[in-house]
Amino acid sequence: MIAPRANPRRIKLAFTGARGLKIAPDGALNLTVEEGELRFLKPVAWQESGERIPVECGFSIDAQDRVGFRLGSYDTRKPLVIDPVLLYSTYLGGGTGELGLRAMQSSMQHGSAEAARTWDMASPWTTTAMPTSPV
């Protein structure tokens, strides 16, 4: 959250170990790292004024490969929320070499969701690890 009258251009993200930063045609930010690729979906921004008011938002990359945010017009007298949505996936395996898959989406706006499936009996999860009723 950006405080009223604060300058959001001062926000800079640096990714140690990233070999490539690209803004995709859909507005997503793609980072190439040793383990593969990380993808941040196009960020969303909004202000609250009894209802959520969307603010146009996108990524920018400066000459030092630091990532910032491009913003449309908004009321600088009110707080601004910028939500860079990280889309993450990885290999998940166990001691017996079976294939496992894991995916996660994390977002301030939508919360976090994680799904995993493995056929390895050495997996740290059990069929009872997840609640069967709402918490």
Q: Please, what are the averages of pLDDT over each run of 10 residues along the chain (135 residues)?
A: 93 87 94 84 92 96 93 96 73 50 46 49 51 49
Residue 106 β-bridge partners: 86, 112
What per-residue string of b and e applies to 118-128 under the rule 16 or more CB within 10 Å gives b? Answer: bebeebeeeee
Q: How far is CA 97 from CA 33, 81, 92, 122, in A?
A: 24, 43, 10, 10
pLDDT value, residue 47: 96
* Joined tokens for residue 101: 């898959």
pTM of the model: 0.64
